[in-house]
């Protein structure tokens, strides 16, 4: 087992990475005095594979267990679903000594985390992420949220889990497209913070795609370390944490502009990474060789970075309404070579022009 401690003053916690560890969840929770009533929040897709193992493990450790299923999909990460979760928590007699287990991808993690942050003004929760994206990104860092009809993640809280348990075996049932999408976030960490890690990804790309357990766990651990280091320095995103947005500004514009459901988030991020690399090169922050290496790695992970045809006004609209726009200016994250970052500021129109998207 690989263990990473996230150091955050009075709410530090461990990330445990292993394979086959789902059945030890109850024991791991008991070790940090989480025992009593457990509410497992999941969705039917994930529950079909893993709810029994998780519930049995929690019961064996002495917990009463209630499994609460929410419908599968980003479109259900909303207030209506959240209310139904509150109802189920009340029905199950969940109190301040109880705890919530978020079993699933980022959608379940974000919504269950926000339920934990707000129910009874906050009860403990544990993340059990089952997608690659959730294991390397959303389960680490304490951002929880639901969507609003006017935008993604508009309602939320910073709320840290008591434990993150990553069982890499769960990735074996993940659709390949979702796995590849998670790899875009993995590439992101290498490009903006860690050249040696980028080189490992280049060298081990076949093993990663074959889910070689040793390599995969090292990769997930490194991503969690890098994200944890950034979050430890800037928990509430007043500065540094923004670098994690690399590839996301234009990626998000394409995700929205192409219409939700056309591109999976990570596929849009791959497009955003390639565009950000080109912009970084045109500003003199990296070489054409760096861009070629970044594109080659995306290619090796079968991530297409060819932007789909999206009308300019749709991109512009998405860029202007991005919640990270401040005073009309966008903080745009560039890569400095490979393994470094520089923050630039642009107007949305300037960014479209720099990306060469004047169609």
Catalytic residues: 121, 143, 185, 227, 237, 241, 245, 248, 252, 265
**SS3 of 148, please?**
strand
Decide: is 143 part of the binding site for ligand NAD (CB under 6 A).
yes
Interaction pattern, residues 247-276, with ligand NAD; x per rule: CB under 6 A: ------------------x-----------
Decide: is 124 part of the binding site for ligand NAD (CB under 6 A).
no
CA distance 16 to 3: 5
CA distance 243 to 232: 14
DSSP state at residue 355: T
Decide: is 137 part of the binding site for ligand NAD (CB under 6 A).
yes
CA distance 135 to 171: 10
- State the nearest-atom distance from the C-beta of 151 to ligand NAD, in Å: 11
| Segment interacting with ligand NAD, rule: CB under 6 A, options 2-10, 40-48, 120-128, 279-287 | 40-48
- State the nearest-atom distance from the C-beta of 169 to ligand NAD, in Å: 9
Q: Applying CB under 6 A, which of residues 110, 167, 194, 255 lies at the interface with ligand NAD?
A: 110
Decide: is 106 part of the binding site for ligand NAD (CB under 6 A).
yes
- The gap from C-alpha 300 to its chain's centroid, in whole angstroms, comes to 21
DSSP state at residue 100: E
CB 103 within 8 A of CB 74: no
Strand order in the sheet with 125-129: 2-6, 13-18, 163-167, 125-129, 99-104, 37-42, 64-69
Decide: is 346 part of the binding site for ligand NAD (CB under 6 A).
no
Decide: is 153 part of the binding site for ligand NAD (CB under 6 A).
yes
Decide: is 27 part of the binding site for ligand NAD (CB under 6 A).
no
CB 41 within 8 A of CB 102: yes
Contacting ligand NAD within 312-341 (CB under 6 A): none
Decide: is 74 part of the binding site for ligand NAD (CB under 6 A).
yes
Q: Applying CB under 6 A, which of residues 107, 219, 297, 303 lies at the interface with ligand NAD?
A: 107
* Token output for 2: 């690989």
Angle between helices 213-233 and 176-193 (to 10 degrees): 50
With CB atoms as reference, the residue minimizing the distance to ligand NAD is 106
Decide: is 180 part of the binding site for ligand NAD (CB under 6 A).
no
How many chain residues interact with ligand NAD (CB under 6 A)? 28
Whole-number Cα distances in Å, 157 to 71, 118, 227, 253, 283: 22, 8, 18, 24, 36
CA distance 112 to 50: 17
CB 293 within 8 A of CB 191: no
Residue with tokens 């390949």: 176
Binding-site sequence positions for Zn(2+)? 185, 248, 265
Residues that bind ligand NAD (CB under 6 A): 43, 45-46, 49, 72, 74, 77, 104-108, 110, 130-131, 133-134, 137-138, 141, 143, 152-153, 170, 173-174, 178, 265
Binding-site sequence positions for NAD(+)? 72-77, 106-110, 130-131, 143, 152, 170-173
């Amino acid at each position: 087992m690989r263990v990473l401690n996230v150091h955050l003053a009075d709410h530090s916690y461990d990330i445990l990475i292993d394979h086959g560890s789902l059945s030890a969840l109850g024991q791991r929770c008991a070790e940090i005095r989480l025992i009593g009533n457990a509410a497992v929040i999941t969705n039917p897709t994930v529950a079909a594979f893993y709810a029994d193992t998780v519930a049995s493990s929690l019961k064996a450790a002495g917990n009463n267990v209630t499994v609460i299923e929410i419908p599968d999909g980003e479109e259900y990460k909303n207030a209506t679903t959240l209310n139904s979760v509150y109802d189920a928590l009340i029905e199950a007699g969940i109190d301040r000594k109880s705890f919530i287990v978020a079993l699933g991808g980022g959608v379940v993690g974000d919504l269950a985390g926000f339920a934990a942050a707000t129910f009874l003004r906050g009860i403990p929760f544990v993340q059990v992420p089952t997608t690659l994206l959730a294991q390397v990104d959303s389960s680490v860092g304490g951002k929880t949220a639901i969507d609003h009809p006017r935008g993604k993640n508009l309602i939320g809280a910073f709320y840290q889990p008591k434990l993150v348990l990553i069982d890499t075996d769960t990735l074996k049932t993940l659709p390949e497209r979702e796995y590849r999408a998670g790899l875009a976030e993995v590439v992101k960490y290498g490009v903006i913070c860690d050249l040696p890690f980028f080189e490992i990804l280049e060298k081990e790309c076949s093993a990663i795609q074959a889910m070689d357990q040793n390599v995969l766990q090292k990769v997930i651990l490194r991503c969690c370390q890098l994200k944890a280091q950034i979050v430890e320095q800037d928990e509430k995103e007043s500065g540094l944490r923004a670098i994690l947005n690399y590839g996301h500004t234009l990626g998000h514009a394409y995700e929205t502009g192409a219409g939700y459901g056309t591109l999976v988030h990570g596929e849009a991020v791959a497009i955003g990474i390639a565009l950000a690399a080109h912009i970084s090169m045109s500003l003199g922050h990296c070489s054409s060789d760096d861009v070629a290496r970044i594109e080659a790695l995306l290619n090796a992970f079968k991530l297409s970075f060819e932007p789909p045809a999206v009308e300019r006004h749709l991109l512009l609209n998405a860029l202007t309404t991005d919640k990270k726009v401040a005073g009309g200016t966008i903080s745009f994250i560039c890569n400095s070579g490979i393994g470094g970052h520089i923050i630039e500021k642009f107007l949305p129109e300037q960014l479209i022009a720099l990306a060469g998207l004047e169609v």
